[in-house]
């Protein structure tokens, strides 16, 4: 399934990638203190539930299932879209 195949009312999950600032070990940087530096930008991947879809701008709002963070990603940055199963 692709983002263009999504129909309103479906509960869907996907794999996604975003560009974030990373530390020296490749983990996302959170809450840098004065004097601390990050290693630089890099892509991270995750699994998320699709919350909203903007068909005009081809954007999806997704919520990561591990961190519960919400991200806005482009259609080209999502794959493996499938029906979400809640437990």
CA atoms of 37 and 14, how far apart (whole Å): 32
**Residue 74, pLDDT score:** 96
pLDDT in tens, 8-61: 788 999 999 999 888 888 888 887 777 777 888 899 999 999 999 999 999 999
What's the confidence (pLDDT) of residue 21? 86
Domains of the chain plus CATH, in order, are 3-19+46-83 (2.30.30.140)
Q: In what order do the strands lie in the sheet with 70-74?
A: 70-74, 59-64, 40-54, 12-22, 78-83
Question: For residues 15 and 79, is the Cβ–Cβ distance under 8 A?
Answer: yes
Strand blocks (E) in 1-87 = 12-22, 40-54, 59-64, 70-74, 78-83
Higher pLDDT, 4 or 68: 68
Q: What local confidence, expressed as pLDDT, does residue 1 receive?
A: 83
Per-residue pLDDT band for 71 (boundaries 50, 70, 90) equals: very high
Contact 69, 50 (CB under 8 A): no
Distance CA 9, CA 80 (A): 18
């Amino acid at each position: 399934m692709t983002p263009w195949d999504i129909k309103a009312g479906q509960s869907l999950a996907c794999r996604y990638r975003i560009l974030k600032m990373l530390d020296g070990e490749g983990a996302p940087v959170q809450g840098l203190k004065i004097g601390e530096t990050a290693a630089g930008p890099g892509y991270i991947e995750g699994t998320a539930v699709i919350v909203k879809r903007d068909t005009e701008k081809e954007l999806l709002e997704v919520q990561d299932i591990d961190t519960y963070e919400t991200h806005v990603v482009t259609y080209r940055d999502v794959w493996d879209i499938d029906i979400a199963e809640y437990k």
